[in-house]
Structure 1
Amino acid sequence: MASKKKSKSQHVTKSIMVSTVLSAIVAVGLGDMLYATDSSSQGLLRPGNEAIVTLGKGIYSEQCAACHGDNLQGQPNWRETNEDGRLPAPPHDETGHTWHHADALLFGITKFGLAEIGNMPDYQTDMPIYKDVLSDEEIIAVLSYIKSTWPENIRRMHDQRNAMK
């Protein structure tokens, strides 16, 4: 009987976690629409600026690679919550979902965190908030570096995200 109660409790806990994650995904999607800054497809990022990309690569190595990987590959099973109920770090290469979001939203999540941007104060994540760690220019440099590594077709699709309002 105790085993059945534990199993039911685990199922309820897992259902709550899945609901939370799905809510976060919806909030991020809505944030994309709300956080759009202008109708320019250029956006905030500068993946073609060698100086900015070089700066961003160095900062990424120091601040991001420990979780997101030296090659932007992310952590295994990044779409599934781990034992503490948090999502592993997603990849920032073309296999992940980073390019699905407009520059302004990526900037906001990096600077303020998903909990604040998505208005989910109880959302738990291992992703640090960088507002007191990196300047706006450094955040843009890191995101520019990430975008500079994407194949041209992915970069074009990302530019289209920036053009949508």
Structure 2
Amino acid sequence: MKMRARQRLLYGRLLGAVAAAAVIMAGWVFWPSVPERHADPNDALQVELGEAVYRNNCASCHGVNLEGQPDWRVRKLDGRLPAPPHDETGHTWHHTDEQLFRITKLGLRPPLAPEGYQSDMPAFDGVLSDDEIWAVLAFIKSRWPGEVLARQPSPDKGNNR
């Protein structure tokens, strides 16, 4: 009797490990990699392009001055949150460039948001090129004060969120 229970427990653990490995592998295979580019707030050409792209594609929700929509922390009647600011008063700088790139390219959805989370943030894949997305991020970062820019997490700082 004890042997069967141990075998079932062992098989259950083995099956769980195989399932977990399959989920991790599927994530690596199906989750698009981020191109090896970056958002450089000191690159004047990238920032200039980013400002133009931002004004044409992002400002209508996130504000001309990156101020976001009013009461951005209070859910609307449909349960969704208004567009947050991208200036230092928001939480954009709490995310790595890679996370911001993915949110912009793919929209705000799992695994970048909790399961079941609904957002008005569209996916810009097919609308903006990768270079345009990186440029928008460079423009946004160029508007942050130095102390905020220094606090943004990055993989090389070891504080990836």
TM-score, normalised to structure 2's length?
A: 0.71
Could you say which structure has the greater relative contact order, defined with CA pairs below 8 angstroms and 6 or more residues apart? 1
Amino acid aligned to 1:152: G
Sequence identity of aligned pairs in percent? 51
Q: How far is the alpha carbon of 1:45 from its aligned partner?
A: 1.3
1:106-145 pair list within 5 angstroms:
106-118=100-112, 122-145=116-139
The question of 1:150 aligning with 2:141 is answered no
Amino acid aligned to 1:50: A
CA contact (8 A) 2:39 2:138 kept: yes
The 2-side partners of 1:120 and 1:157 are apart by 24
Aligned match of 1:66 in 40, 60, 76?
A: 60
Aligned match of 2:80 in 71, 81, 86?
A: 86
The 1-side partners of 2:74 and 2:143 are apart by 25
The 2-side partners of 1:103 and 1:74 are apart by 19
Structure 1: which 5+ residue stretches go unaligned? 1-36, 38-42
Q: Which has the larger helix fraction?
A: 1
Q: What are the superposed Cα offsets for residues 120-145 of structure 1, whole Å, 9 maximum, x if unpaired?
A: 56432111101111111100000100
CA contact (8 A) 2:99 2:112 kept: no
Give the direction of change, closer, same or farther, for the CA distance of 1:119–1:81 in structure 2 (3 Å limit). closer
Q: What are the superposed Cα offsets for residues 14-46 of structure 1, whole Å, 9 maximum, x if unpaired?
A: xxxxxxxxxxxxxxxxxxxxxxx8xxxxx8211
Secondary structure in structure 2 of the residue aligned to 1:137: helix
Q: What are the superposed Cα offsets for residues 82-130 of structure 1, whole Å, 9 maximum, x if unpaired?
A: 0111000000000000001111001111111221443656432111101
Structure 2: which 5+ residue stretches go unaligned? 1-33
The 2-side partners of 1:101 and 1:119 are apart by 12
Coordinate RMSD, CA, aligned: 1.7
Structure of greater Rg: 2
User: Number of residue pairs matched?
Assistant: 122
The 2-side partners of 1:109 and 1:54 are apart by 21
CA contact (8 A) 1:109 1:117 kept: no
The 2-side partners of 1:119 and 1:57 are apart by 26
